[in-house]
């Protein structure tokens, strides 16, 4: 059932260069609220997935598009799989949650819950005799849900990673790899490239970071490093490159990308302590929307304990060519600022950071969920018209796209939503040099911000427009 959560403004932390506005989402006096992760919808509103538990375990979602938070119950599950879930939101604003629950002894299945009809309704998508756990769900450009998950005959058997997707004909699945790191179900992430092909980053049974992508006749794996890696957090940018943060032995945070055409690994933070201290990074990337569609700096948050071993959340960005780290969220004595397992950090189109975590509340005696938004854009703001050298001109006026070409050229105009998902191809073909105009049919588009990307003659340009009904 829906209820309005108490909003408590906890103030702005002044312990770091980046300041955060904090809101307390839950205020339960008899339930532990833990393991939050988040996703931003097409209007950049946060949706927070978390658990509340005492004698029973409840999966819940907190969301808001006004000044009030609304909390919905998704499902009641077995305690064994409390943190094993993920969340995404489709272009219509419907929330989908994938989670694991026991069906019978040694038989756990993947469930997908959707609030498309109002309250959340769950469906068992892997209803068989196998053991499946730890789903990561992502929606493609057609709002088709894709899930990667761990699968075995029993929990004690060797684990393989599977890819599943749902369409009008039902749920389909295929094996991706069988060399997964056995002791940790959550060692993978799923992203889509600009051609909407799924890519998975995972930890192999050699402890190294691997990448695999869908191909014919099978998934194609490649090893990315020779380090003892954990907890990959991946992002695909609109230009086709990949960005991954991961930790090495719980001691150092690394960032690896193939932006230059080859994989290059960088050290983000290193404690120099083999006993650990830096772990579970969450990566976000600046996507620059303006007169062109491009990418900016990577940003990473992760866990690091203080001198009393209470977890704190640290933040690092690469704004000046090198990584600079600082405390983002500091916990007090007998408290721990701890997020869930998965994506708990995001950056919106205006450059603001969004972060979720749980912390012990002395008033209630239970952990509560908190949401933090950076007081200023993490990137100093995204300009509408950043410097560029493209000879193309692209603008949207009302319901018309206007562009000009310096020379006759083949072009392609694609429509993207605010989350960077391609909605449709508006036009393609050969056009003469000079000015052109093409109408936009926005009747079937939900209210929100959209982007038009044009490619022509080896150059690209981008323009933003809003749909209001």
Are both 267 and 397 inside the same structural domain?
A: no
| CB < 8 Å & 24+ apart, contacts of 82-85 | 82/34, 82/35, 82/51, 82/53, 82/57, 83/34, 83/35, 83/51, 83/186, 83/340, 83/341, 84/133, 84/134, 84/135, 84/185, 84/186, 84/341, 85/37, 85/49, 85/59, 85/135, 85/342
**Phi then psi dihedrals of residue 114, to 5 deg:** -135, 145
Are both 302 and 451 inside the same structural domain?
A: no
Are both 408 and 365 inside the same structural domain?
A: no
Task: Give which of 77, 78, 53, 74 is closest to 63, Cα–Cα.
Answer: 74
Distance of CA 168 to the CA centre of its chain: 25
Identify the bridge partners of residue 221 per DSSP, sorted by sequence position. Answer: 212
Is residue 381 domain-resident? Answer: no
pLDDT in tens, the chain (469 residues): 333 333 333 333 334 489 999 999 999 999 999 999 999 998 889 999 999 999 899 999 999 877 789 999 999 998 877 778 999 999 889 999 999 999 887 789 999 999 998 999 999 999 999 999 999 999 988 899 999 999 998 888 888 999 999 888 889 999 999 988 867 666 899 999 877 889 999 999 999 999 999 876 789 899 999 999 999 999 998 878 899 999 998 889 999 999 888 999 999 999 866 666 899 999 999 876 554 455 778 999 999 988 778 889 999 998 777 899 999 998 777 788 999 999 999 999 888 999 999 999 989 999 999 999 999 998 754 434 343 445 677 888 878 898 888 888 899 998 887 666 778 889 999 999 888 999 988 888 887 778 888 888 777 777 777 787 6
Residue 271's pLDDT is 81
CATH number at residue 52: 2.120.10.10
Taking a C-beta distance cutoff of 8 angstroms, is the pair 109, 103 a contact?
Answer: yes
Residue written as tokens 């919808």?
41
Are both 40 and 178 inside the same structural domain?
A: yes
Residue 288's pLDDT is 66
Are both 369 and 398 inside the same structural domain?
A: no
Is residue 417 domain-resident? Answer: yes
**Token reading at 248:** 């090495």
Residue 381's pLDDT is 42
Are both 339 and 423 inside the same structural domain?
A: no
Is residue 382 domain-resident? Answer: no
Which whole-number Å values give the CA distances from 158 to 85, 125, 178, in the listed order? Answer: 21, 22, 8
CA gap 306, 312 in Å, rounded: 7
- Beta strands per DSSP E along 258-399: 264-270, 279-289, 293-305, 311-317, 324-329, 345-347, 353-361, 366-374, 393-397
Residue 460's pLDDT is 74
Are both 264 and 187 inside the same structural domain?
A: yes
Q: Please identify, among 323, 342, 374, the residue that sits at the C-terminal boundary of a domain.
A: 374
Q: Please identify, among 374, 409, 428, the residue that sits at the C-terminal boundary of a domain.
A: 374
Is residue 177 domain-resident? Answer: yes
CATH number at residue 446: 2.60.40.3080
Is residue 332 domain-resident? Answer: yes
Taking a C-beta distance cutoff of 8 angstroms, is the pair 203, 209 a contact?
Answer: yes
Task: Give which of 400, 465, 371 is closest to 47, Cα–Cα.
Answer: 371
131-139 and 145-152 strand pairing: antiparallel
Are both 356 and 433 inside the same structural domain?
A: no
Are both 207 and 289 inside the same structural domain?
A: yes
Is residue 22 domain-resident? Answer: yes
Residue 238's pLDDT is 80
The residues near 422 (Cβ < 8 Å, ≥ 6 apart) are: 141, 194, 196, 414, 415, 416
Are both 366 and 430 inside the same structural domain?
A: no
Residue 293's pLDDT is 52
Residue 294's pLDDT is 59
Count of domains forming the chain: 2
Taking a C-beta distance cutoff of 8 angstroms, is the pair 56, 73 a contact?
Answer: no
Residue 384's pLDDT is 40
CA gap 410, 329 in Å, rounded: 50
- Beta strands per DSSP E along 184-228: 188-192, 198-203, 209-213, 220-223
3-state secondary structure of 67: coil
Taking a C-beta distance cutoff of 8 angstroms, is the pair 105, 117 a contact?
Answer: no
Taking a C-beta distance cutoff of 8 angstroms, is the pair 214, 195 a contact?
Answer: no
CA gap 51, 33 in Å, rounded: 6
Q: What is the extent of the structural domain holding 423? A: 393-467
**Token reading at 322:** 């090198």
Q: Please identify, among 374, 407, 424, the residue that sits at the C-terminal boundary of a domain.
A: 374
Taking a C-beta distance cutoff of 8 angstroms, is the pair 151, 131 a contact?
Answer: yes
434-439 and 422-431 strand pairing: unpaired
Identify the bridge partners of residue 62 per DSSP, sorted by sequence position. Answer: 48, 71
Are both 338 and 445 inside the same structural domain?
A: no
Is residue 380 domain-resident? Answer: no
**Token reading at 218:** 């099978």
Is residue 379 domain-resident? Answer: no
**Token reading at 183:** 């002791």
Are both 351 and 456 inside the same structural domain?
A: no
């Amino acid at each position: 059932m829906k209820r309005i959560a108490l909003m408590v403004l906890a103030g702005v932390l002044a312990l770091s260069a980046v300041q955060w506005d904090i809101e307390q989402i839950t205020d339960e006096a008899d339930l532990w609220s833990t393991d939050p992760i988040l996703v931003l919808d097409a209007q950049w509103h946060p949706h927070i997935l978390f658990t509340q538990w005492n004698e029973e375990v409840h999966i819940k979602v907190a969301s808001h598009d006004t000044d009030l938070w609304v909390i919905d119950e998704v499902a009641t599950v077995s305690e064994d799989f409390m943190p094993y879930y993920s969340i995404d939101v489709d272009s219509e604003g419907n929330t989908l949650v994938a989670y694991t629950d026991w069906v019978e002894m040694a038989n756990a299945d993947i469930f997908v819950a959707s609030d498309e009809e109002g309250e959340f309704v769950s469906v068992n998508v892997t209803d068989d005799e196998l053991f499946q756990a730890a789903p990561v769900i992502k929606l493609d450009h057609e709002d088709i849900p894709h899930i990667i998950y761990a699968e075995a005959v029993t929990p004690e058997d060797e684990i393989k990673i599977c890819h599943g997707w749902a369409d009008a004909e039902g749920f389909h699945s295929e094996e991706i790899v069988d060399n997964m790191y056995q002791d940790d179900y959550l060692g993978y992430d799923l992203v889509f490239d600009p051609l909407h092909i799924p890519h998975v980053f995972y930890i192999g049974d050699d402890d190294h970071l691997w990448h695999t992508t869908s191909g014919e006749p099978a998934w194609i794996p490649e090893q990315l490093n020779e380090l003892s890696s954990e907890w990959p957090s991946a992002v695909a940018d609109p230009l086709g490159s990949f960005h991954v943060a991961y930790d090495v032995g719980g001691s150092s945070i690394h960032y690896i990308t193939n932006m230059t055409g080859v994989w290059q690994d960088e050290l983000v933070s290193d404690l120099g302590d083999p006993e650990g201290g830096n772990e579970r990074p969450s990566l976000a990337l600046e996507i620059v929307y303006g007169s062109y569609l491009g990418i900016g700096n990577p940003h990473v948050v992760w866990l690091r304990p203080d001198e009393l071993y209470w977890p704190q959340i640290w933040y690092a960005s690469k704004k000046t060519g090198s990584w600079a780290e600082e405390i983002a969220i500091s916990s007090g004595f007998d408290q721990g600022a701890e997020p869930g397992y998965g994506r708990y950090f995001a950056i919106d189109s205006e450059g603001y950071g969004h972060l979720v975590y749980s912390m012990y509340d002395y008033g209630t005696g239970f952990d509560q969920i908190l949401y933090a938004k950076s007081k200023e854009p993490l990137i100093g703001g995204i300009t509408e018209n950043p410097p560029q050298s493209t000879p193309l001109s692209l603008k949207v006026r009302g319901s018309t796209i206007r562009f000009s070409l310096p020379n006759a050229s083949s072009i392609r105009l694609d429509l993207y939503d605010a989350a960077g998902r391609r909605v449709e191809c508006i036009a393609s073909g050969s056009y003469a040099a000079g000015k052109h105009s093409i109408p936009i049919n926005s009747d079937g588009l939900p209210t929100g911000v959209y982007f038009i990307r044009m490619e022509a003659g080896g150059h690209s340009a981008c323009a933003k427009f809003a749909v209001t009904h």
